[in-house]
């Protein structure tokens, strides 16, 4: 057990990682504040603005936040992108689990928790539980995917993730555009069930949150679990001084 996870050692690893990562994390936190606060500057007195302008502002915030979490989460193992750093990190006397979860905490869990602190100034835009429900779903699942891609592809993780998302979206749109009948044949019974469970006119925030958690949990656990396994198999690709003969 001691070789798998030890809380004292975990704290040492966390402290070790934070000492090196804090400048980058501080920059990310500042960028996040800018993303969240710019509408306040541009749309002072939002009551006087039209719904359309507020909608655009909200859309920009959403895209900004998704991109923000993609970038941050895909950098979870940026510290081992270069072999010079990788050797020191992989031979640090801590278990793979301690190393993995310490980085996950700094680059995924804490930023997500930081992001879900209620921001009063954006409360005017996030007016119903449905919106909140989808944002939670999107961010948790998408950023867990960024963690996985960052673990597998290291430096290229973000690029591969964006490419994968674009390809999937294009394929999805192309499929439904070329097969309009398939849209009509979609079984939307589950949507009605969700609407019944959460409520439409006066949504139950608690139920929405539970549902979001349930639906997001499966792919998230899969992504993080797979990333954890891949991390434990991390090794040097080939010695820097290796010369092909």
Partner 1 sequence: MVTISNLQFSYGSHEVFSNLNLTFDEGKIYGLLGLNGAGKSTLLYLMSGLLFAKNGTVDFNGHNMSRRSPDALANLFIVPEEFDLPAMTFERYVLLNAPFYPDFSRATLDRCLAGFGMTADMNLARLSMGQKKKAFVCFALATNTSLLLMDEPTNGLDIPSKSQFRKVVAECMTDNRTIIISTHQVRDVENLIDNVTIMGSRQLLFDMPVAQICDHLTFVDCKLGQEPEGAIYSQPSALGSAVVCGRKAGDDETTLDIELLFNAVLANAESVNQAFAAK
Applying CB under 8 A, which residues contact partner 1?
2-3, 6, 9, 12, 15-16, 19-20, 82-88, 90-96, 98, 233, 235-236, 238-245
Minimum CB distance to partner 1, residue 158 (Å): 22
**What's the rounded Cα separation, in Å, for the pair 229 and 243?**
30
Tokens 């539970």 identify what position?
A: 210
Following DSSP, what letter does each residue of the chain receive, concatenated? -TTT--HHHHHHHHHHHHHHHHHHHHHHHHHHHHHHHHHHHHTSSGGGS-HHHHHHHHHHHHHHHHHHHHHHHHTTTGGGSSHHHHHHHHTSSS-HHHHHHHHHIIIIIHHHHHHTS--GGGTTT--SHHHHHHHHHHHHHHHHHHHHHHHHHGGGHHHHHHHHHHHHHHHHHHHHHH-HHHHHT---HHHHHHHHHH-SSS--HHHHHHHHHHHHHHHHHHHHHHHHHHHHT---SS-TT----
Residue with smaller CB distance to partner 1, 46 or 105 = 105
Residue with smaller CB distance to partner 1, 31 or 97 = 97
Residue pair 33/25 in contact (Cβ under 8 Å)? The answer is no
Minimum CB distance to partner 1, residue 85 (Å): 5
Minimum CB distance to partner 1, residue 72 (Å): 20
Residue with smaller CB distance to partner 1, 94 or 129 = 94
Tokens 């998704």 identify what position?
A: 66
Minimum CB distance to partner 1, residue 229 (Å): 14
Minimum CB distance to partner 1, residue 243 (Å): 4
List Cα–Cα distances, 83 to 93, 226, 243, in angstroms: 18, 23, 16
Minimum CB distance to partner 1, residue 84 (Å): 4
Residue with smaller CB distance to partner 1, 95 or 128 = 95
Residue with smaller CB distance to partner 1, 15 or 121 = 15
Residue with smaller CB distance to partner 1, 85 or 121 = 85
Residue with smaller CB distance to partner 1, 23 or 118 = 23
Minimum CB distance to partner 1, residue 154 (Å): 16
């Amino acid at each position: 057990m001691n070789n798998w996870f030890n809380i004292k050692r975990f704290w040492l690893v966390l402290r070790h990682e934070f000492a090196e990562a804090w400048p980058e994390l501080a920059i990310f936190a500042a960028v996040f504040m800018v993303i969240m606060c710019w509408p306040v500057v541009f749309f002072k007195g939002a009551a006087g603005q039209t719904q359309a302008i507020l909608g655009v502002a909200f859309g920009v915030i959403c895209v900004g936040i998704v991109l923000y979490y993609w970038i941050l989460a895909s950098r979870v193992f940026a510290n081992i992108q270069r072999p010079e750093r990788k050797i020191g990190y992989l031979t640090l006397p801590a278990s793979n689990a301690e190393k993995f979860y310490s980085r996950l905490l700094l680059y995924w869990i804490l930023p997500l928790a930081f992001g879900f602190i209620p921001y009063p100034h954006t409360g005017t835009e996030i007016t119903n539980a449905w919106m909140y429900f989808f944002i939670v779903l999107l961010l948790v699942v998408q950023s867990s995917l960024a963690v996985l891609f960052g673990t597998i592809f290291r430096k290229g993780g973000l690029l591969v993730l964006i490419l994968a998302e674009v390809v999937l979206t294009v394929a999805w749109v192309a499929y439904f555009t070329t097969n309009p009948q398939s849209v009509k044949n979609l079984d939307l019974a589950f949507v009605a069930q969700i609407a019944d469970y959460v409520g439409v006119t006066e949504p139950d925030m608690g139920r929405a949150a539970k549902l979001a958690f349930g639906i997001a949990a499966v792919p998230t656990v899969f992504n993080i679990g797979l990333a954890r396994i891949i991390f434990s198999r991390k090794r040097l690709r080939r010695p820097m001084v290796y010369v092909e003969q």
